[in-house]
Structure formats: C-alpha cells, structure tokens
C-alpha cells in the first residue's frame, strides 16, 4: 500500500515539515519550492494533502497563502498549530565557546537577540531555517551554528546545543490542511470552524448589512480580513472564519443573509477546531 503524501513549502526540517509530522504522522512529507508548487502537487495527484501556514502570532497573516487559497481548487479539511521553538544547532561535539556566528532566516535571528548577544554570537541571514541547518551540516565549520527546529537537527545530523532560545514564549504558527475533496461531515468531539470568502455588492453599507446576519443569529466570527481583488482599489474580497457548520440553523441563516448582500460567496471548507485554538 502506497503511503499518502502531504506537501509543504520549504525544505525538510522546516517548521511546516514539523506541522506535517505532528498533525499527519501517517503521511510522508513532500517538500516543495513554493506555495504554488505545494498547491499544484495536490491538484495533480502527487500528494493527498497540503500543509499551508496562514497566521503567525508574531508576524501576522501569510499574505501569499491567503491570496492563493480561493483559486487553488482545494478545500480546507483541518487546521494545526505549531509552537515555534528556536534551537541552536551545531556540528556534533561542538561546544558553545567555539561558536562565532549563527545563521537562519532573518525573522528567527530577530527573535533570539538576547541569547545571541549574551554569548557574543554574530547573526548571519540565511534563506530559511531548514536551509541554514543543511548549510551548516555541509560546511563542517565548528564555529558556525544554525537556528532552526529540533527536527532540522535530526534531518541534517546536527546537535542541539541550546533549546528554546527565543526571546518571547508565544510565537505560534497556524496552518490549514487542504485537500482536493471537501469534507463537509462533522468530525471530532469539539466545535467546527467554517472558512469562506465573499465579495460584497457595490451598494452603501453593504459590508455592515452583510455582517448583520452573523450578529442577529448569534454566530461567532473569529476572523475577517480584506484583500484587493484583481488589482482593483474598488473590488475588495473578504476572508472570514466562523464557529459552526454550514448546516447549523443559525449559520445557514447568516450565510443566506450574507449572500443577499454579496456578489460572490465561496465556502473554502469546514473542519474541526484544533485543541490549540482554545
């Protein structure tokens, strides 16, 4: 029996790879060069699922993914959260006194300023986290280290010299799991989440009126974000997430009212809320 695959953007050892391992351990990871390639891998049948980062608690939304989702031809079937723990990875046997520089993505370097300054370690910007770990493993220079996940250390044969060295203990990335086929069944024991995009009609107070149905029907909207559509300053598409399933009576009424004031409504998926959502 062939092992199903899950596509992600980045190299083996990336935090997206970690999300795949934690959320879908029965799937083989398929690294892809870009978000577009990861979406295409699922559409073309190379992978069954895609793991897409959409939000980070420190840096906000991943805009590229939000723009690509509506036209991807895929449906959201799940979500996952990864706590971004940053580790100092070194060649086996290296001591802290030997380390002169650390390489990683610019964002991770900025999140470890305290530790790196304390130990006099120079910050060197790399292309990404997993790629930096691979580079350190290939260069075999004991004065250089990488900042990345523990998984990257396992993949590239590096030691974890220091764990969880980030300055702040709240950096978390949220991922959406996407599939060729939508799954509208109720799954799990907790609440369901529904994601959708919509474009309001060009009439006064259209957005206010479109949102009214969620308030009057007691539907909790947990996310609402706007995007320019097709490069136009007047055509705006909104991405929203609500608690509930489209078949719930109050959700159905709210979506009906949304449709009356919108020129376009597309449900991207309904899926169980992850425990980490709170």
- d(CA 180, CA 183) in angstroms, rounded, equals 10
| pLDDT for the residue 202 | 81
Query: Phi first, then psi: what are they for 262, rounded to 5°?
Result: -120, 150
Is the model more confident about 51 or about 232?
51
DSSP structure string for 43-106? HTTS-SEEEEEEEETTTEE-HHHHHHSTTSS-EEEEEEEEE---EEEE-TT--GGG--EEEE-H
Mean pLDDT for the stretch of residues 249-253: 97
- d(CA 5, CA 29) in angstroms, rounded, equals 6
pLDDT exceeds 90 at position 233: no
Mean pLDDT for the stretch of residues 234-245: 88
pLDDT exceeds 90 at position 229: no
195, 257 in Cβ contact below 8 A? no
pLDDT exceeds 70 at position 131: yes
Of the pLDDT bands very low, low, confident and very high (cuts 50, 70, 90), residue 146 is very high
Task: Give Rg (Cα) of the chain.
Answer: 21
- Summarised one tens digit per residue, pLDDT across range 183-225 is 999 998 889 999 999 998 888 888 899 999 999 999 999 999 9
| Residue ranges of domains in the chain, CATH in brackets | 5-83+171-179 (3.40.190.10), 87-162 (3.40.190.10), 192-277 (3.30.70.260)
Tell how strand 144-148 and strand 101-104 pair up.
parallel
pLDDT exceeds 90 at position 267: yes
Q: Which one is catalytic: 175, 198, 214, 261?
A: 175
| pLDDT for the residue 227 | 82
pLDDT exceeds 80 at position 228: no
pLDDT exceeds 90 at position 124: yes
Q: Is 270 a catalytic residue?
A: no
| pLDDT for the residue 232 | 63
257, 250 in Cβ contact below 8 A? no
pLDDT exceeds 90 at position 87: yes
| pLDDT for the residue 103 | 96
Q: Which one is catalytic: 94, 129, 173, 194?
A: 173
| pLDDT for the residue 61 | 84
| pLDDT for the residue 278 | 65
Which of 25-34, 171-180, 200-209 is least confident?
Answer: 200-209
Q: Is 3 a catalytic residue?
A: no
| pLDDT for the residue 42 | 98
Mean pLDDT of the chain: 93
């Amino acid at each position: 029996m062939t092992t199903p695959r899950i596509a992600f953007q980045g190299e083996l050892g990336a935090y997206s790879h970690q999300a795949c391992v934690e959320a879908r351990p029965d799937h083989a990871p398929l690294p892809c060069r870009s978000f577009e390639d990861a979406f295409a891998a699922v559409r073309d049948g190379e992978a069954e699922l895609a793991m897409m980062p959409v939000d980070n608690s420190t840096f906000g939304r991943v805009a590229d993914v939000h723009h690509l989702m509506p036209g991807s031809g895929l449906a959201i079937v799940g979500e996952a959260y990864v706590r971004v723990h940053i580790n100092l990875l070194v060649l086996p046997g290296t001591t802290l006194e030997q380390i002169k520089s650390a390489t990683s993505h610019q964002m991770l370097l900025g999140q470890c300023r305290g530790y790196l300054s304390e130990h006099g370690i120079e910050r060197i910007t790399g292309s990404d986290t997993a790629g930096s770990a691979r580079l350190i493993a290939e260069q075999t220079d004991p004065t250089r280290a990488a900042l990345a996940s523990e998984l990257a250390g396992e993949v590239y044969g590096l030691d974890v010299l220091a764990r969880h060295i980030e300055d702040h203990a709240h950096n978390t990335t949220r991922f959406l799991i996407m599939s060729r086929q939508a799954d509208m069944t109720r799954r799990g024991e907790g609440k369901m989440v529904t994601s959708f995009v919509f474009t309001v009609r060009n009439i006064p107070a259209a957005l206010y009126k479109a949102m009214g149905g969620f308030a009057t029907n007691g539907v909790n909207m947990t996310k609402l974000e706007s995007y320019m559509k097709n490069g136009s300053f007047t055509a705006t598409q909104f991405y929203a997430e609500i608690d509930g399933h489209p078949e719930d009576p109050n959700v159905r009424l709210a979506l009906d009212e949304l449709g009356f004031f919108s020129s376009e409504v597309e449900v991207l998926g309904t899926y169980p809320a992850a425990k980490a959502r709170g």
